[in-house]
Structures are given as structure tokens and as C-alpha cells.
Structure 1
Amino acid sequence: MPSPLARPFLLAPLVFAALTLAAASGVRAEDAARIGCVPPGVWADGTGTAVEPAPLLRRLAEAPAVLLGEQHDKADHHRWQLHTLAALHALNPDLAVGMEMLPRRLQPVLDRWVAGELTEGEFLRETDWRTVWGFDPAFYLPILQFARLHRLPVVALNVERSLISRTARNGWAAIPEAEREGVGDPAAPTETYRKRLSETLAAHDRSESKAAAPTDAARRFIEAQSVWDRAMAEKIAETRRTTGRAVVAILGQGHTLYRDGVPHQLADLGIADAAVLLPWDADRDCGELDGRIADAVFGLGPAREDAEPQRPRLGVQLAPGPDGITVGSVSDGSVAAAAGLRTGDRILIAAGSPVRAPADLVAVIRRQAPGTWLPLTIRRDGAERELVAKFPAEKR
């Protein structure tokens, strides 16, 4: 089927107050050099070529699914998601919102939220948000409020993290069908996805198992990621099939890049024309805009330290692992980089508390005061090591 960006649509013109998060003008001179290939407030295609927002969003509004990628701890990513959702809703009010943040078992809570039966506090308690997801709920509540205001169904896309961890540890075949949460067998990943995930795993603990070759660990890791992608794709496809609504999915961008994760599984389920949209940070490598990374991207301005209270950030992206959590990447110049964390390290303990899921680490970091030290126990190359992450003092 053709890409949603290639199809003409005859829709009446609409005024898009929600199309942009920032104007391209008004950028301070000292920031100009920091702004990369996609200027703030500009929509561009996957090569970085600017496109007109109104025709773009008219086409996207007719897609069966639109995947809005994010980095979970970046506030501007979530603001962009909300504005994009609002723009799509202005064109097509027959939407559903899918969220990676919650597992399937919490769907009844989401239904009660949309029906207006829960306060924000009750919703956060009944979902056990801090444990189940862990990232700041303030990032996601505006999206949830928008869905409730317009009575849009909100769909829990995820499964329990333990299912992904068990797959990474033992393989999908070892999990009884009754314990798979209804997830079917994933489509074989593309070679580009295998390569990208293998590179993420390149620094993985080489002594993970004396009985298994490194290729077995890599195979299970890739299989776990594919199961994760499949689970979310199935809920998107099911929602589309049973409701006829277009599904706007809020999920980590690692599941969407180059159409290799959730989009690949959606294609196997009969939805080949899902659209992938990404926010584009000012300091992101322009070389990534190869025409394949996404259908469209939206330029964000340089982060402003005075724009909002600074939250403590370690500066890592996390990947599922069989024991603890695995560092998928480390941001240059971050607290994590200064502490000596590397891709492939497993974080076992933070400030004396065991770390079994990303939410555990997020909760510890949120309690970290500026200028303080965070002791970490990690496993690298089969041996445990102690590292200390120092958070910068608060600027005055």
C-alpha cells in the first residue's frame, strides 16, 4: 500500500493553531550555531527538506496509525506530541490514543479515566504509575486530559516488563503460550534492525552465560525487542480493526526508527501505511536524516536552562535485559558519561536500592538533589563495579 505521505486528500482548509511549538523566527543569535538541519517550528520530510504543515497533516490524518516517537525524559517531546495530536484531531476527530506507558492489564483504569470517573491522583494510584512507568507523569497528563476532554479511547499498548525480560533471558519459545499475555509470534526483524540492535548489544556483558555463545545472547535480545514491538503493534491493529479509528500512538522512538520496530510488525499485521513522526532536537546529528528514519520530523529549538526547573538527568537510554537494566546508550557530556558508564553496562543497584526496572532507577534519580553524588553498582564483563555519578550543583 502507498505511504500516507504519497496520497492526495480533498479536505477543507483548517486553521492550525496547534501545528507549531515554536516560531522559526525570534531565535537568539547565540543559539543560531546550535540549531541543526531542521529549524525550530518547521516540519520536514525524512531527508530534512522543509514541507508545508497543512498538506502534510491533512495526509497524516487519513493514515490508519500515526506513531509519535519520543525520548521519555524530554519535556519538549511530549509538548510536541500533544500539539501534533491536537492538529490531527482537528482534521480527523475519529481517533484513538495508544500509549506504551501502561500494560494491557490496566486497560480498565484507562477506560474509567476517559469516562471521567477518576481524578488525576486516583488515576496515578490505580495505575501505580511510579512503579509501572516511572517517568514524570506531568509529561503525559496533558495528553491524557486531551483524550478525556474529547472522549477519545486511550489504549494500553504494552505488556508486563517481566515478559520482555523473560524473553531476553530464555527465549520466546521457552515461554508457555498461556503466559504470553495474548501476544503472537513476531515477524522476523529486518536485517537493518538486527544490525542496529546488535550494535547496541556490542558492549554487552560477554560473560552473561558460560553455557551460551554471545550469538545466543544477541539472538534473545533481538527476539525480546521484536516481541515488545509485536505486542504494541497488535494492540494498535486491533484498535483500528474493532473501532475503525485512526490510532495515534505515543511511544519511545526506538520502536519506530527506520520503520524497523512497531511499523514493521504493523505491516505484517496488514497495516503497511502507518506513519512515523519524530521530534528533531537542535543538536541531533543531521546525518541521520537519510530519508528512511521517519516520514516527517519537527524541529525543536535549543533546550533552555531557564525555561523550566531542571530535573536531575543521568543521560542514558535503557534497554531490556535479563538481569537488572542495560544501558543502551550514553549521552555525550552527561552525568553518566562523566561517571564512566558505558553502553552494555547493567545497572544493578542505585543508592543502595536494587534496580530491576527503569522505573526503579528513575525514582532514585528523581530524589537526587543538585550537587549530590549517586553511588551505582554495575556489572561489566562479568564483574561487578562501583561507580559514582555526580549531579551538578543548581545554577543561581
Structure 2
Amino acid sequence: MSVFHRQRPHGLSPRSPLAAALLLAVCALAALPGCARPAPTDTPMGVSFLPEPGELMTAAGDRLSPETFMERSRTAAYVLVGESHGEMCDHQAERRILSLLAHLGQGPAVGFEMVPAKNSAVLRDFAAGAFPSSELERRLDWGKTWGHPFPGYLPVFEEARRWKLPMAGLNVPPEVIRRLSAAAMDNATASDTFDGPVAALAPEDRAQLPKRIIEPAPEQLAFLKEVMAGHPKGRDPADGRQLARFLLIQSVWDSAMAETAVALRRESGRQVLAFAGAAHVEGGLGIARRIRVLDPGAEILLVSPWRGDELDPEDAAVRVYCPLRFESRMGMVLEHRIFGESSQVLVREVRRGSRAEAAGLRPGDVVTRAGGYRMNALNALHLAGSDAYRHKSNLVLEVRRGRSCLTVDLGPLGQTGQTGQAAAAAPAGTVGAEAAPTRETP
């Protein structure tokens, strides 16, 4: 049922005097002049339809059928698919894209940013059926080499094995990256090339770096500086040595993925399907730019997730609609839906027997506030949870359910305290200061 389905206020008969008065009031309001105005005709239209999660779209925002996507992919030497590493919708889309491309001829060879190239033998053995799926995480040493939740990735690996597709890791081992990063701070200056830090590594580490480290494009530098400035460890792009180190690591990362993808294409004789973080894919300035240097003239198709914000046709030729989701330990799954200027956080799932169910939260509720924060992004829940934990107070949500505005008291965090019940919402408070999220979150 739609969250906007009209519901009768509880205990109110349609024949009661109060109901009649309310109906007259609504009719009177509807008759007032100025309640509606003509829609502007010059507003640019982004998407031409409201996509479902996982649905394919063109760069312009039009529906893209699986069959049309397959035809567009047929001539591509490389299909680069971006992701956000913790988003289940992205992983489900990856599995679907892999399956679609597997129907084309012999199917692609599949490369993974998440796996170091040195572990490609593990993927080859897995593809050959040498060991069961239950052993793959351990054999890849996933917790040390990647760390993002493995269950989201396992179906993608299994789908590649089901189609008997060759698989390979694309990247440099993280321990080599850490040693290179340390060498960069010891050996780099603002004007230094990449040669000094690389030369400072042991020979066995240098052997795992790409043969050619291709520097970022000038037009990408501003973006990389923004990424660096937003790093959780507070890196400073104005510091020449820090910037040189950051650009070196980014260049090694993208150059390694491109070099390994090109080698995978030549060795397998197949199209290469590569999965990597969206920042390495979108705009074609990361992996794609390096591939064009190493494999000139090769056709590259870019695919990236779209969260519902403003569409940029330069990001990728194909978009997959995957709104951001958050799964709470309290037993609820929230989804942030954005379409143009419209934005809402929707309750997608509530686990039976969970704290969220006991508090009165239900699928289809639209969360409008969390604590003192307007719920215009999922991070507001993180901030509200941090405040509730710090002040030893209950985490309270305000939700819209049909025409009703309700509060849902989820109780204290970090304790097994009783939850409240859904009730009529109190007047909305003001947006609090954004404290840094700490300790337990919802």
C-alpha cells in the first residue's frame, strides 16, 4: 500500500458531526484561490519515469531495457561498473549485469577491485569448483584485504562461477599500499615525481606495483583534492607532501586496475567486466583513462549507480537506480529516495520481533525527523543516535503514516530499555548542531 494512502482517523465515524465539520473545512480550503498554480514548463526534466531499485537507465534518465543494455554492451571491450562498497542494491545490480553479459557469446572475464591481483589464483580455483563457496572468504583473506561485508559480494562471485567465467583480482595488496604511503611521506616533496617513493620500496613490493604509474588528468585534480579534504583522518591538500602522497596512491590504484584489466583481456580473449568503486569509474578519469593509454582505441562502457540526485550525463553512459539504504540493528531498513527537489526517508522493512516493531514502526512509514534533526539524509539518524547515546536519552523518530503524524520511541541506545508506542506527534523541534557521530549508532 502506498505511504500516501488516505486513512480515516481512528475512532472517527464518517457520519459524526466532527467528521462533517472536518469535511466542510477541507472543502473550504480547497475552494480558496491560490491553492494551486500552473506548473513551470521550463524546468528541466531529469528522469522520464520513476525507476524501481536496480532498474537500468540511460545517461539522460530514460528507461533502458535489459535487451537494449546487452546490445549496447556487445561491442565494448571493457564494461566498468561502479559501486558503493556497502550498498546491497549495488551488489544485486552487479550480479544482474554479470548475468546479462554472460548471455553474450562466451561471456566476459570478470575483474574485482576488491581482490589483490596476487589472489587471482584463488578465484581461478573457485571458478573451477576446487572448493565450496563457504571457504572463499577465508581463502581470499577478505577481512584483511578488503573488509567490507562479504555477503554482499558472494552472490557476484557465485554468478561468475555458475557461468564458468574467468575471474581475477585487479589491485595491489593493501600492505604494499601502506608501505608505499609511508615511503611517499619520507621521500616525496610537492614537486617530486612518483619515482622517489617507488624506489624506496623493497624489490618484492615494487614487483606488485603497475609497470606504468599514470598520473591523474589535470581536470581530475580539483575533484581529488576535494576527496582528500573530506578524508576522515583530516588530510590537508595544501600540504605539498600529503597531496603528493595522495595522488601517488590514487594513481597506483587506478593504474593497477587498468593494467590488470588490459592483461586480462589479452590473456582471455574476452570482454572484461570490472567492478570497482564508483569514484574510479564515473567520468572516465580513473580506470578508463588509464585503459585508453594502455589499450588505445578499445571501446569502454561506463555503468554507475544513481541515487536519485541530479543526473550528470558525463558520469556514465548507463545508470542503475540504487537509492541509499541503511539497515539498523534495531530491526529496520531505511531507504533515502531523492527525485529532483523531492526527498524522503522511507521505512522499507521492519523485522518481526525487533525493537523497531515493538516501538510501532511499520513498513511504508516516512521518517521526517530523528531526535532534533530533520530527516533529509540517512546521516541524520546517525547524528540523532549519537546524541541519544551521549545524553542517555531515548531515540525518538517522527514519521508520517498516510495522513497521520506519529512519534516512534525506540528507547535508549546501548541498553535493553523498553520502547514507547506510536503516538500523536509533538510539535517539531529545531534542527540541532551536527555533532560528530560517536560510539553506538542505531
Q: Would you call these one fold, judging by a TM-score over 0.5?
A: yes
Provide closer, same or farther for how the CA distance between residues 268 and 331 of structure 1 changes in structure 2, counting only shifts above 3 A: farther
1:285 equivalenced with 2:309 (yes/no): yes
- The match for 2:131 among 118, 122, 131 is 118
> What is the CA deviation profile of residues 12-56 of structure 1, one whole-angstrom value per residue up to 9, with x for unaligned ones?
xxxxxxxxxxxxxxx94549xxxx846226432223244444233
Rounded to whole Å, the distance in 2 between the matches of 1:121 and 1:251 is: 23
User: After superposition, what is the alpha-carbon deviation per residue over 1:203-248, rounded to whole angstroms, capped at 9, x for unaligned?
Assistant: 5699979xx9613311220221111001111111001112111111
Q: Shift of residue 110 of structure 1? A: 1.1
Q: Is the 8 A contact 2:107 2:270 kept in 1?
A: yes
Flag the 1:277–1:145 CA change in 2: closer, same or farther, 3 A. Answer: same
The Cα of 1:93 is off from its aligned counterpart by: 2.8
Alignment of 1:47-86 (within 5 A): 47-86=60-99
SS at match of 2:156: helix
Aligned residue among 142, 157, 161 for 1:129 = 142
Secondary structure class of the residue paired with 2:131 = coil
Please point out which of 98, 103, 115 is paired with 2:111: 98
Residue 175 (str. 1) matches residue 198 (str. 2):
yes
Conserved in 1, the CA contact under 8 Å of 2:386 and 2:440? yes
CA distance in 1, matches of 2:119, 2:96: 26
Q: Once the two structures are superposed, what CA deviation does each residue of 1:110-156 show, in whole Å capped at 9, x if it has no partner?
A: 11111101112322222222222222221111111111122111111
1:151 corresponds to: 164
Q: Against the structure 1 CA distance between its residues 213 and 78, is the aligned structure 2 distance closer, same or farther, given a 3 Å change threshold? A: closer
The answer to whether residue 245 in structure 2 is matched with residue 252 in structure 1 is no
Alignment match of 1:199 (pick from 226, 230, 236): 226
Question: Where does residue 390 of structure 1 map in the other structure?
Answer: 440
> Alignment partner of 2:439: what SS?
strand
Aligned to 1:372: 414
Find the counterpart in structure 1 of residue 122 from structure 2.
109
1:148 & 1:63 partners in 2: Cα distance?
22
**TM norm structure 1:** 0.66
Moved more, 163-172 or 189-198: 163-172
Q: C-alpha deviations, 1:239-264, integer Å up to 9, x for none?
A: 11121111111111111111111111
- 2:318 corresponds to which residue? 296
CA distance in 1, matches of 2:131, 2:171: 21
Q: Distance in 2 between matches of 1:100 and 1:307?
A: 33
Counterpart of 1:291 in 2: which secondary structure?
Answer: coil
Equivalent residue in structure 1 for 2:349, among 287, 306, 314: 306
Segment drifting more, 83-92 vs 42-51 = 42-51
Label 1:338 to 1:164 Cα distance change in 2 as closer, same or farther (>3 A): farther
3-state secondary structure, aligned to 2:438: strand
Q: What fraction of aligned residue pairs are identical, expressed as a percent?
A: 28
Deviation (angstroms), 1:299: 2.1
Cα contact 1:64–1:246 (8 A) shared by 2: yes
Q: Structure 1 regions of 5+ residues with no counterpart? A: 1-26, 311-329, 341-369, 374-385
The Cα of 1:196 is off from its aligned counterpart by 0.7
1:300 is displaced (CA, Å) by 3.4
> Which residue in 2 is equivalent to 1:142?
155
Aligned match of 1:19: none
Deviations, residues 276-301 of structure 1 (Å, cap 9, x unaligned): 101223xx321xx2221011102236
User: How many residues are treated as equivalent by the alignment?
Assistant: 297
* Distance in 1 of aligned mates of 2:103 and 2:256: 29
Q: What TM-score does the superposition give when structure 2 sets the normalisation length?
A: 0.60
Aligned mates of 1:247, 1:185 — CA distance in 2:
20
Please name the residue that 1:39 is paired with: 51
Q: How far apart, CA to CA, are the structure 2 residues paired with 1:28 and 1:244?
A: 49
Q: Tell me, in whole angstroms, the C-alpha distance in 1 between the residues paired with 2:293 and 2:120.
A: 25
Superposed, 1:211-360 pairs within 5 Å as: 214-271=239-296, 272-281=298-307, 284-286=308-310, 289-300=311-322, 303=335, 305-306=348-349, 332-333=379-380, 335=382
Instruction: Output the CA distance in 2 between the equivalents of 1:88 and 1:240.
Output: 15
Alpha-carbon distance in structure 1 between the residues aligned to 2:252 and 2:157: 26
- Mapped partners of 2:66, 2:322: distance in 1: 15
Q: Give RMSD over aligned pairs.
A: 3.3
Question: What SS does the aligned partner of 2:98 have?
Answer: helix
